[in-house]
Amino acid sequence: MVNAFVANFKKNFIEMKRYFFDTVSSFIILFIIFYLIFFGFKIASGPNFGDTIDGIIVSYFMWIMFLASFQGVSYWIIQEAERGTLEQLFMSPIKFEFQMIFHVISDFCINVLMIVPLMYLAAFTTGRTLNFDLFTLLYLIILGSISAVGVGLILGGMALIFKKISSFIQICTFAFLAILMFEVDALWFELLPMVKATGMMRRMAVTGTKFYQFPIQDHVILWITAALFLLVGIIIFRGFEKRAMVKGTLGQY
């Protein structure tokens, strides 16, 4: 088990190194999109723009974490199917679910190491100072990403059946960008994946609120959302997995 986890971690680092140009290009694109959003809001907000900068920075990079979490699962399955190795993963002595967990954890660690410094760099280049408590930051990112992984499992299950769902993933990507950029004071909205984590992180960035200073109901909603979407994601993924096995399409692309 430990060897499988270490192998996943090494594989991710090796691919980033081997495809160095693509890795650097992706970071550049992230910054270009951020500044397009930044200057777009600046033009639209006028003199009151200073009150919204922190929220834009936090919302955008939480969206990036969401993106990495839910796309990581679905694109990993699509990629393994394209390479013709997906069926081998299901036939491995280590259960496919465990291999997927290892991949998600290694992906998450790498994303945190890359995205958090980028968030501070974006704040620095826009003349802001983010008041982040490290423990609170990791707490919100982890729980927010768990709900995103649940969405990724649903999309990954769809990929087992439909094989190519890139266009649908892109629709989900920009739909959630719009959702995370705005705050709606309604319970149903807060129960959407990563919404509550993003709202709490905004407060942390603006007022320096720490983990223990948030109201208990915020923590309850955060945990319920994470558990609910992860559970639903696992159930739906297993349903798609069984259907793919019955149809015998795991090894097809």
Is the pLDDT at 48 greater than 60? The verdict is: no
- pTM assigned to the model: 0.80
H helical segments located in the chain: 2-18, 20-45, 53-83, 86-91, 96-125, 134-162, 166-181, 187-190, 195-207, 216-247
Is the pLDDT at 17 greater than 80? The verdict is: yes
* Whole-number pLDDT of residue 197: 87
**pLDDT tens-digit profile of 24-43?**
888 888 888 888 877 777 77
| Confidence tier at 225 by pLDDT (50, 70, 90) | very high
For residue 60, which of 28, 37, 32 has the smallest C-alpha distance?
37
**pLDDT tens-digit profile of 132-178?**
777 888 888 888 888 888 888 888 888 888 877 888 888 888 888 77
Gap between the Cα atoms of 214 and 183, Å rounded: 17
* Whole-number pLDDT of residue 65: 79
